[in-house]
């Protein structure tokens, strides 16, 4: 993303009623937020500086991106299709959909991501063997976050 595109995003945020805008592109994440409107802040007697969007720097990587590392190992990731909460089983106390070492088929349900009280089944993209579960049950997940590492069937 170049400076011109970033300025367009800032302008879009300023002219909208949005308070926050987050974009992820090619492994880089940019988050823009507005400070509270000073008129509203004065109404509750809290002094505030003038409204101005703040651009956060891309988040630093703690090493190589997870997907690149998995691809280097010949693994394929199953990614979260949305922001939500990750669950390994259909209900509390029931067995996990899959475990490390399980053979799976393409389109087999491997977990659930709950978003807005809706349970969304997540399916594998490829047939293979589950090598790693990358998230703990009950943890929040982001859109595109790798959840499982699968070794494709040969």
Is the distance from CB of 35 to CB of 51 less than 8 angstroms? yes
Q: Are residues 34 and 71 in the same domain?
A: no
Q: Are residues 75 and 121 in the same domain?
A: yes
Estimate the share of the chain in helix, then strand, then coil, as percent rounded to the nearest 5.
15, 35, 50
Q: Rounded to whole angstroms, what are the CA distances from 16 to 13, 31, 42, 118, 143?
A: 5, 15, 21, 29, 24
Q: Are residues 72 and 138 in the same domain?
A: yes
What local confidence, expressed as pLDDT, does residue 61 receive?
Answer: 44
Q: Are residues 77 and 40 in the same domain?
A: no
Listed as ranges, residues in the chain with pLDDT below 50 are 39-45, 59-64
CA gap 35, 42 in Å, rounded: 13
Q: Are residues 97 and 35 in the same domain?
A: no
Residue 60 lies in a domain: no
The residue assigned the tokens 């997907």 is: 67
What local confidence, expressed as pLDDT, does residue 49 receive?
Answer: 54
Residue 105 lies in a domain: yes
Q: Are residues 51 and 79 in the same domain?
A: no
CA gap 93, 102 in Å, rounded: 19
Residue 139 lies in a domain: yes
Enclosing domain of residue 35: 3-55
CA gap 128, 98 in Å, rounded: 12
Q: Are residues 84 and 51 in the same domain?
A: no
What local confidence, expressed as pLDDT, does residue 41 receive?
Answer: 44
Of 83, 88, 144, nearest to 111 by C-alpha is 88
Q: Are residues 75 and 32 in the same domain?
A: no
Q: Are residues 148 and 75 in the same domain?
A: yes
CA gap 8, 15 in Å, rounded: 11
Domain count, the chain: 2
What local confidence, expressed as pLDDT, does residue 67 receive?
Answer: 55
Q: Are residues 81 and 128 in the same domain?
A: yes
Would the pTM count as exceeding 0.85?
no
What local confidence, expressed as pLDDT, does residue 19 receive?
Answer: 72
What local confidence, expressed as pLDDT, does residue 71 receive?
Answer: 72
């Amino acid at each position: 993303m170049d400076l011109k595109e970033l300025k367009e995003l800032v302008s879009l945020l300023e002219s909208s009623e949005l308070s926050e805008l987050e974009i992820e592109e090619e492994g880089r994440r940019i988050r823009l937020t507005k400070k509270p409107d000073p008129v509203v802040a004065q109404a509750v007697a809290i002094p505030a500086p003038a409204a101005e969007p703040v651009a956060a720097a891309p988040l630093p990587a703690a090493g190589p991106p997870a997907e690149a590392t998995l691809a280097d190992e010949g693994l394929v990731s199953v990614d979260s299709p949305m922001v939500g909460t990750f669950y390994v089983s259909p209900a509390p106390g029931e067995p996990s959909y899959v475990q490390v070492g399980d053979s799976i088929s393409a389109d087999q349900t491997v977990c659930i991501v709950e978003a807005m009280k809706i349970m969304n089944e997540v399916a594998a993209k490829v047939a293979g063997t589950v090598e790693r579960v990358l998230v703990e049950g009950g943890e929040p997940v982001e859109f595109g976050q790798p959840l499982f590492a699968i070794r494709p069937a040969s």
